[in-house]
């Protein structure tokens, strides 16, 4: 009989990937964040661009504000009532590596032949920006097989686990 994987001996209820995906893993949430990253900050503009149903867009924006990823900023056009636009917080801006990593993967596997409609440039030199894996010793990891998942500082033994 084969050896059970070591991960079975640990609990997942404090997993930060799971917690992050509980926010970002709703169908449209990261697409809404993409709009704001891209400078599209107003409800009606997002709705026209993305065709997300009004109620869903309202819910996703509320979720992102609740989690302090977006903040609401009032604005008023001449002759109209006060409205709100959405800006990224520091916590929201820190999602940039996630967005770039997702775009890299999508561009590799899901792009139309002419390429993606958005790219990310380095503000200083203009070159295209990608997500890379790097270890704390400064090594770049180009091969995903060089990454080894292992129990972290918050790993908790699973007392129920049949660990063989």
Of 55, 81, 82, 122, the residue at the interface with a second copy (CB under 8 A) is: 122
Residue 31 phi/psi, 5° resolution? Answer: -65, -40
Of 71, 83, 84, 129, the residue at the interface with a second copy (CB under 8 A) is: 129
Per CB under 8 A, 131 contacts a second copy:
yes
Residue 59 Cβ vs a second copy, minimum distance, rounded to whole Å: 14
* Burial status of residue 61 (CB atoms within 10 A of its CB: 0-12, 13-18, 19 or more): buried
Residue 74 Cβ vs a second copy, minimum distance, rounded to whole Å: 13
Per CB under 8 A, 31 contacts a second copy:
yes
Among all chains, which residue has been given the structure tokens 């599209």?
A: 40
Of 53, 66, 87, 135, the residue at the interface with a second copy (CB under 8 A) is: 135
Instruction: Closer to a second copy by CB, 28 or 43: give it.
Output: 28
Residue 41 Cβ vs a second copy, minimum distance, rounded to whole Å: 7
> What is the spatial distance between Cα 72 and Cα 65, in angstroms, rounded to a whole number?
7
Instruction: Closer to a second copy by CB, 38 or 58: give it.
Output: 38
Q: Which of 70, 62, 99, 75 is nearest to 86 (CA)?
A: 70
Per CB under 8 A, which of residues 80..119 are in contact with a second copy? 91, 93-112, 114-119
Instruction: Closer to a second copy by CB, 40 or 65: give it.
Output: 40
Distance set, CA 129 to CA 32, 48, 89, 109, 138 (Å): 21, 28, 21, 17, 18
Distance set, CA 153 to CA 21, 115, 121 (Å): 21, 41, 35
Instruction: Closer to a second copy by CB, 66 or 94: give it.
Output: 94
> What is the spatial distance between Cα 93 and Cα 83, in angstroms, rounded to a whole number?
23
Per CB under 8 A, 60 contacts a second copy:
no
Instruction: Closer to a second copy by CB, 15 or 62: give it.
Output: 15
């Amino acid at each position: 009989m084969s050896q059970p994987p070591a991960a079975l001996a640990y609990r997942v209820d404090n997993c930060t990937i799971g917690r992050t995906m509980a926010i970002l893993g709703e169908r449209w949430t990261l697409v809404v964040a993409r709009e704001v990253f891209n400078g599209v900050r107003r409800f009606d503009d997002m709705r026209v661009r993305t065709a997300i149903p009004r109620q869903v867009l309202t819910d996703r924006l509320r979720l992102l504000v609740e989690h302090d990823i977006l903040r609401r900023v009032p604005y008023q056009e001449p002759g109209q009532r006060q409205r709100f636009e959405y800006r990224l917080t520091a916590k929201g801006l820190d999602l940039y590596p996630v967005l770039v990593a997702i775009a890299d993967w999508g561009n590799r596997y899901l792009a139309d032949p002419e390429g993606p409609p958005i790219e990310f440039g380095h503000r200083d030199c203009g070159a295209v920006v990608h997500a890379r894996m790097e270890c704390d010793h400064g090594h770049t990891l180009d091969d995903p097989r060089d990454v080894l998942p292992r129990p972290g500082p918050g790993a908790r033994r699973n007392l129920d686990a049949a660990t063989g």
